[in-house]
């Protein structure tokens, strides 16, 4: 095979350029700290790195979501905790005023305290997050959702509940609807309501009311009336469903209902039993304050009716308290889910970043050794080329 001088020069120069290019690439890797400077360096690794970049970007979005939802749920937990404490305070004041030992002026002072607590409860219901968005307003969260008027409670929010993605296949509810938390409660014990007839003149009052057999309770309306020391329970069609001798403090049972009545009813006195209806917590507290403000010192019959009204509204208050307890339990579970997701995302981010580092980050010791080897080879090749290109046939003839 014959190698011309031109081919020799061309091949030698091409070889030197390749070695210079390899050395320059290694120097660039050392200066940047990255071993994948272009996709051509490792096409498969570059594609895998892009996939990991997308995973890391999604991870960052989910992490931001978990932090935002945790903060919002934290604000809601503070509001519900304050609301629960306020309801406990109201309950204590009402029980104190219903004890029968306080005078009208003392009860009126307690009523003022209850109304002050009502304002506090309203502020919790209108609580906002750290960005000025109202927690219990649904999608209409730019303005306070609740207001109290002479006609009742006004709600300007809605029932829209946002779901926040905290993982590829995981979302949590970022808030609770204000109507569900504060408005959609029921009167009485949740099954039925008790009321003393306005014309009652005796001192009988309801001491307790409950459903002892839910399968027997039919949700109907009934009347418990008294005459000549006896009681009679009639349904909406005036059919007698139960009757007997009245004994103060004894249970009166019918259709799954258990009533305990104390005091002495006058002939013709009666109590109504009706299915529970919707009643918001604010109206319940207003009714309790009104009952505390009612002067009863000189009217035993009125005192008995007020005590029955107190029991009825205290039952409604307890129902509302239980609702808030349930909401807080659900909220706590969502906080745990957000924390768990955040921990998983943090762990995943570390693993993805380690994988990206393995793909892209340079091993300085290996690269430095490789560069030294490449430069030594390049220097030897240059010296060899310089010697060989200066030789000719005349060197051998001499």
Look at residue 385 and tell me if it is in a domain.
no
- Report the distance separating Cα 147 and Cα 304, nearest Å: 32
Within this chain, do residues 180 and 66 fall inside the same structural domain, yes or no? yes
Average pLDDT over the chain, rounded to an integer: 85
Alpha carbon dihedral 362, 363, 367, 370, in 10-degree steps, equals: -130
d(CA 161, CA 180): 11
Are 142 and 89 in a shared domain?
yes
* Residue 286 falls inside a structural domain: no
Domains: count for the chain: 2
Cα-Cα end-to-end distance for the chain: 26
Q: CA nearest 231: which of 210, 201, 204?
A: 204
Q: What are phi and psi of 332, to 5 degrees?
A: -60, -40
Among 214, 242, 275, the domain boundary falls at 275
Is residue 329 situated within a structural domain?
Answer: yes
**Is 255 inside any structural domain?**
yes
The verdict on 181 and 220 lying in the same domain is no
Residues 96 and 182 in one domain: yes
Which residues span the domain enclosing 342? 54-187+316-348
Residues 176 and 233 in one domain: no
Find the CATH number of the domain harbouring 113. Answer: 1.20.1330.10
300-360 and 281-293 are packed helices; what angle lies between their axes, rounded to 10 degrees? 150
- Evaluate if residue 74 carries a pLDDT over 60: yes
Residue 358, in any domain of the structure:
no
Sign of CA dihedral 235, 238, 243, 245: positive
Indicate whether 64 and 178 sit together in one domain.
yes
* Assigned domain for 96 exists: yes
Out of 223, 251, 275, a domain closes at 275
Q: What average pLDDT does this structure show over 107-129?
A: 96
Q: Is 388 domain-assigned? A: no
- Residues in CB range of 148: below 8 A, 6 or more apart: 118, 122, 154, 282, 286
Q: In sequence order, which residues have a C-beta less than 8 Å from that of residue 185 and are 6 or more positions away?
A: 278, 279, 280, 281, 284, 316, 319, 320, 323
Compute the chain's Rg from CA coordinates: 41
61 and 119 housed in the same domain: yes
- Between CA 398 and CA 294 the distance in angstroms is 136
Q: How far apart are CA 342 and CA 73, in angstroms?
A: 14
Do residues 181 and 148 share a domain?
yes
Nearest in space to 347 (alpha carbons), one of 63, 53, 54 = 63
Q: What value does the mean pLDDT take over residues 230-252? A: 95
Same domain, 182 and 79: yes
pLDDT computed for residue 169 by the predictor: 85
User: What mean pLDDT comes out for the span 381-385?
Assistant: 64
Global confidence as pTM: 0.77
- The per-residue pLDDT for range 263-302, each reduced to its tens digit, is 999 999 999 999 999 999 999 999 999 999 999 988 999 9
244 and 125 within one domain: no
Domain boundary among 328, 348, 368: 348
Q: Are residues 182 and 203 in the same domain?
A: no
The answer to whether residue 322 sits within a structural domain is yes
d(CA 291, CA 306): 6
Residues 80 and 122 in one domain: yes
């Amino acid at each position: 095979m014959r190698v011309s001088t031109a081919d020799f020069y061309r091949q030698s120069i091409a070889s030197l350029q390749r070695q210079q290019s390899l050395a320059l690439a290694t120097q660039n890797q050392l200066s940047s700290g990255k071993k994948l400077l272009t996709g051509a360096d490792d096409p498969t690794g570059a594609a895998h790195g892009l996939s990991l970049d997308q995973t890391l970007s999604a991870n960052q979005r989910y992490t931001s979501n978990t932090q935002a939802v945790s903060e919002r749920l934290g604000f809601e937990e503070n509001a519900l905790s304050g609301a629960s404490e306020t309801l406990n305070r109201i309950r204590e004041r009402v029980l104190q005023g219903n004890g029968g030992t306080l005078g009208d002026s003392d009860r009126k002072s307690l009523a003022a305290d209850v109304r002050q607590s009502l304002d506090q409860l309203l502020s919790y219901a209108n609580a906002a997050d750290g960005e000025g968005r109202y927690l219990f307003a649904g999608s209409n969260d730019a303005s306070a959702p609740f207001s109290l008027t002479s006609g009742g409670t006004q709600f300007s929010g809605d029932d829209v509940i946002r779901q926040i993605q905290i993982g590829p296949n995981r979302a949590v509810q970022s808030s609770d609807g204000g109507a569900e938390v504060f408005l959609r409660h029921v009167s009485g014990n949740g099954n039925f309501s008790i009321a003393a007839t306005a014309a009652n003149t005796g001192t009988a009052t309801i001491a307790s009311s409950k459903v002892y057999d839910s399968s027997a309770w039919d949700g109907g309306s009934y009347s418990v009336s008294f005459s000549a020391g006896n009681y009679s329970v009639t349904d909406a069609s005036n059919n007698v469903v139960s009757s007997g001798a009245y004994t103060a403090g004894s249970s009166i049972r019918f259709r799954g209902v258990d009533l305990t009545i104390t005091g002495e009813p006058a002939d013709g006195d009666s109590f109504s039993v009706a299915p529970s209806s919707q009643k918001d917590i604010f109206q319940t507290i207003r009714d309790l304050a009104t009952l505390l403000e009612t002067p009863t010192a000189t009217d035993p019959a009125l005192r008995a009716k007020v005590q029955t009204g107190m029991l009825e509204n205290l039952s409604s208050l307890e129902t509302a308290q239980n609702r808030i307890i349930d909401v807080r339990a659900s909220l706590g579970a969502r906080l745990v889910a957000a924390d768990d997701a955040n921990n998983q995302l943090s762990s995943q981010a570390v693993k993805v970043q380690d994988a990206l580092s393995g793909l892209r980050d340079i091993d300085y010791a290996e690269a430095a050794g490789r560069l030294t080897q490449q430069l030594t080879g390049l220097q030897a090749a240059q010296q060899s080329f310089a010697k060989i290109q200066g030789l000719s046939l005349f060197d051998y003839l001499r």
